[in-house]
Chain A
Amino acid sequence: MDHTGHTTVAEWTPGDADSVEAAVAAFRQELELGAIAMVTTGPGQAEHVRELPVDADLVILRRPIAGG
């Protein structure tokens, strides 16, 4: 999620090693830049992940929150 609404950082297919490798690299780069990766785990539930869950349909990168 960014100023454009959202941007697709990477797309991958679990069976495609090259796409997974590229996605993992992009994922780690975003984490190093301070993003927090989230996956939806059910209705109204989410959890953050530190490694790219290759079998997930969607991984959302969010920015840290803070008290105002």
Chain B
Amino acid sequence: MADQARAQPLPEIAAVSWRPLVDAERLRRRGELWTLTTVAHVLPFVFAGGMLVALQPIALPVALACIAHAWVIPELYAARGANVVRRRRRAEPARAPETLALGLLGDLVGHAARNAYIATGLVPEPGRLGTWLVGPAGALLVRRGRLGRGRVDCWCVRVREADLPDADRVSHLLLALRADEQGFATVANLAFSGAVWRVRRRLDKPQRAALDAARSAERARPPVGPPVE
């Protein structure tokens, strides 16, 4: 479990020294800001659509276009979040390296998590901030939001190395996450933060199951306190 105190900060933090270190409180505030921003994008279109119909019913098509905008904007945000773990279709996967990399990944996470990776492309990893689902080019952090509702943060993070097997990419990310969870979240770029269901519908079926399992795990465990500095 990536729940240790920050004994050693991640070396990669030096490359993003201007970013404040992510902790549970900062994560909560960023999530709320994300929601407020989405509302600020959506409300004017809803308001404009309503006003148009109220003032001139013949403007209904324009009002509907406004409502469509209001619907599309959050959808695009959620799609961007889901994209961080979308599985790539490779023309010709290199089987031997991938098999070898899977072996190492299995040594790191155990057989159950490795099998989960084979089925979903995601490795579940419990952490202090929440439950992580780590993929080759990004990670989802499932945590409790306001009122105990499930919330997911989608992080775009990767190893900038060409031709690495996907399982190796996951191992790189996993090791960094295990060494310094807060540092990992600081280095990664937040692509989306919002309700679990908004990302869930954008994932493929096996990944939805992984997301559901992570959400269940979050519900089941008691709330944790602030990280020890």
A6 to B156, CA, bound (A): 24
A63 to B15: give the CA distance in the assembly, Å. Answer: 14
The one of A4, A40, A60, A68 in contact with B84, judged by C-beta atoms closer than 8 angstroms, is A68
Contact among B84, B94, B156, B178 with A46 in the assembled complex (CB-CB below 8 Å): B178
Please count the residue pairs between chain A and chain B whose beta carbons lie under 8 angstroms apart in the complex: 109
Check A67–B168 contact: CB distance below 8 A: no
Residues in B neighbouring A1, C-beta threshold 8 A: 101, 104, 164, 168, 171-172
> Could you mark each residue 16-51 of chain A with 1 if its beta carbon is under 8 Å from any beta carbon of chain B, else 0?
000000000000000000001010100111111000
User: Is the pair A66, B15 in contact by a Cβ cutoff of 8 Å?
Assistant: yes
- Whether the Cβ atoms of B100 and A38 lie closer than 8 Å is no
B-chain residues with CB within 8 Å of residue A2 when the two chains form the complex: 164, 168
Q: Give chain A residues whose Cβ lies under 8 Å from the Cβ of B168.
A: 1-2, 5-6
Q: With the chains together, A45 CA to B178 CA distance in Å?
A: 5
B126 within 8 A of partner (CB): yes
- Contact present for B163 and A3 (CB under 8 Å): yes
List of B residues within 8 angstroms of A40 by Cβ = 108, 178
Q: Closest approach, in angstroms, between the C-beta of B49 and any C-beta of chain A? A: 35
In the assembled complex, B137 has its CB within 8 A of some CB on chain A: yes
Q: Tell me whether B138 is interfacial, beta carbon within 8 Å.
A: yes
Cβ-closest chain B residue relative to A64: B12
Where the two chains meet, the residues of B that have a C-beta atom closer than 8 Å to any C-beta of A are 1-4, 7-8, 10-12, 15-16, 84, 94, 96-101, 103-104, 108, 125-126, 137-138, 155-165, 167-168, 171-173, 175-176, 178-179, 184, 187-189
Q: What are 19 A-B contacts with C-beta separation under 8 Å?
A: A3-B161, A5-B100, A5-B167, A6-B100, A6-B168, A38-B175, A45-B1, A45-B4, A46-B175, A46-B179, A47-B179, A48-B8, A60-B104, A62-B159, A65-B12, A65-B159, A66-B12, A67-B155, A68-B158
The 8 A-B pairs of least Cβ separation, nearest first, read: A5-B100, A68-B156, A67-B189, A44-B1, A46-B178, A3-B163, A5-B97, A5-B101
